[in-house]
Structures are given as C-alpha cells and as structure tokens.
Amino acid sequence: MRDDRRALTHLLTTVRYEVIPTPTIADRVREAVPTDVTVTVTASPAKGLEPTLELAERLTGAGYRVVPHIAARLVADPLHLKDIVERLVRAGIEDVFVPAGDADPPVGQYDAALPLLRQLSEFGSPFPRVGISGHPESHPVIDDDVTIQSMWDKRQHAAYIVSNLCFDPRVLAAWVARVRRRQVALPIYIGMAGPVDPAKLLAVATKIGVGPSTRFLTRHPSWFARFALPGGYAPEPFLRKVVRALRSPGSDVSGLHIFTFNQVAQTERWRQECLARYPP
C-alpha cells in the first residue's frame, strides 16, 4: 500500500497536459497551469501545423516546457521539416512528439512517423527528446502486432513512448508487458483522460475535431458513455487501478500524459486535490 501511494504521488507530480490549439487556450493555460507542468500541443489534419507551432511558441515564451506534435502526414518534405525544426529550436523547444497523424492523404512524402524520425536523425537529432505513440487498445486502422513492431523500429530515434487512451488498467498492463517482452526499453508515459465534463467533451469533439485524443474518441463513440453514465469513468479510481496493475518490475512508467480536452483548470484542480490526499 505504501509503495502504491508513492507511485501515485510520482505519477501525479510527473504529468504532461495535452491541449488542442484554439484561440483561447494559451490564456487558459497561463491562468490555471503551473509552469512546472509540461504542456503538449496537438496537431490538426484540418488546420495543419501552424496553429500547433504558434501555440508552442507562445507557451514556451510564457515559461512552460512545451512539446509540440509534429504529425508526419502534415509535413510536406525535408525542406518543410527543416523550417519547422529551425523555428522550434529558435523558440527554445527541446522535446517534440512525432505521431503519424490522420491527414488522408498525407500532404507530402511522409506517410508514417518512422520516415520523419529518420529524417530528424539525419538532421543531427536537433531535439534532445523525441516521443512516439503507443496503442494499448486496438488502433482503428493498424493491427496490434504492427504497432508493437513499429515501436521497435522507431526506438533508436526516440526517447520515450506515450500511450494512447485506454480505460482498462488490465489491458494497459498487458500492453506494457508486451512492449517490454519485445525489448523496447523506452520509458512510457501513461495516457489517460482527465476529469472531463461530458457535455464539454462532446462540444470539443464536434466543434474542433482535432487532436489525436479527440479523434480517438470519435472513432469509439461508445466511450462517451464512460464519461456520461453514473459510475462511469473517474480519473482517480482509474489511476489507483493502473498503479496496482503496473506493480511488476520493469514496467518503467515515467509519468502521466493527461488528455485534458482543453479543460485545463478542471484538470489541474483535480490533480492538486489528489496530491493533497497523496502528499509527497
């Protein structure tokens, strides 16, 4: 029990908040989120990378450690990627997250994350930290074995893995074990939903329709019921179950990646309330 409490505290103090680039989110982050919390910024296949880059620059300028998503399918070619890299390095950004993205068709020559990761390595690995995605539950269009193999292929270009949303701690633990059995030793950030208001979540998904977290839920519409029904999803009980499920040595879970759906004030208030119950 004491070890579980320590693990909970560690996860709650090692968090990343995922946000969607909208006109008001920069101000809302500055009002509600401490600067020691890492903020990640999604990319939209409809709006392209520019809103992501602009928000990353603004939040970095405000003192946050920011991780922009460079969705491979939104990058046209090596010259475009070089411009993105130079812009982010100039802003002081040292960490990026590279998913494939959902643009269909791709805007250029990168149809998956691995070719873009290789290109970054050929550029001299300009970012000290690069994250890649993991899928504890079935990816909508990619077989499970392929996603695990993909992590193996990408491991030499990356520093960590971020798991996508999963509401079953047992599935999550089984996936972590599979990743480790395949000798992928990268640290893992557990992706989980924050304390989301169902009506606001639906409004975000319908109105904005961007960000891997929102798209993942819209591809699994029954998951909205987990937020809406009595006794449905609640982040703290889920987190306690995750800690118990990941007790096995070698899991190497580094922290939490919280999908805020832009409800940053509610998410941070929940985290502080949890920390009060599980103090360092």
**Against a cut of 0.85, is the pTM above it?**
yes
pLDDT at 208: 42
pLDDT at 257: 97
Query: Averaged over 249-274, what is the pLDDT?
Result: 92
pLDDT at 267: 97
| Torsion, Cα of 172, 178, 179, 180 (10° steps) | 110
Q: pLDDT, tens digit, for every residue of 70-88?
A: 999 999 999 999 999 999 9
Instruction: Provide the CATH number for the domain around residue 237.
Output: 3.20.20.220
pLDDT at 211: 40
Query: Averaged over 12-37, what is the pLDDT?
Result: 96
| pLDDT of 199 strictly over 90 | no
pLDDT at 42: 95
Handedness of CA 203, 39, 141, 111 (dihedral sign): positive
pLDDT at 217: 52
CA atoms of 276 and 280, how far apart (whole Å): 9
Q: How much of the chain exceeds pLDDT 90, in percent?
A: 58
Radius of gyration of the chain (CA): 18
Domains contained in the chain, number:
1
pLDDT at 103: 85
Q: Is the peptide bond before 279 cis (omega within 30 degrees of 0)?
A: no
185: Cβ–Cβ under 8 A, 6 or more apart, which residues? 155, 252
Residues of the domain holding 96: 2-277
CA atoms of 55 and 197, how far apart (whole Å): 24
pLDDT band (50, 70, 90) for residue 226: low
Q: Which spans in 69-168 are helix H?
A: 78-91, 113-122, 144-154
155: Cβ–Cβ under 8 A, 6 or more apart, which residues? 184, 185, 186
In whole numbers, what is the pLDDT of the chain averaged over residues?
Answer: 86
Q: pLDDT, tens digit, for every residue of 138-148?
A: 544 444 555 56
pLDDT at 97: 98
- Lowest-pLDDT range of 32-36, 47-51, 56-60, 177-181: 177-181
| pLDDT of 191 strictly over 70 | yes
Query: Averaged over 246-265, what is the pLDDT?
Result: 89
pLDDT band (50, 70, 90) for residue 158: very high
More confident residue, 268 or 139: 268
Give the strand pairing for 15-19 and 38-41: parallel
Residue 189's H or E segment, with its range, is strand 188-193
- Between the alpha carbon of residue 71 and those of residues 47, 187, 246, the distances in Å are 12, 21, 29
DSSP-derived 3-state class of residue 188: strand
Helix-then-strand count for the chain, H and E: 12, 8
DSSP-derived 3-state class of residue 81: helix
CA atoms of 101 and 87, how far apart (whole Å): 20
| pLDDT of 15 strictly over 80 | yes
194: region left, alpha or beta (phi > 0 left; psi from -120 to 50 alpha): beta
| pLDDT of 278 strictly over 90 | no
Q: With contact defined as beta carbons under 8 Å apart, do 16 and 257 qualify?
A: yes
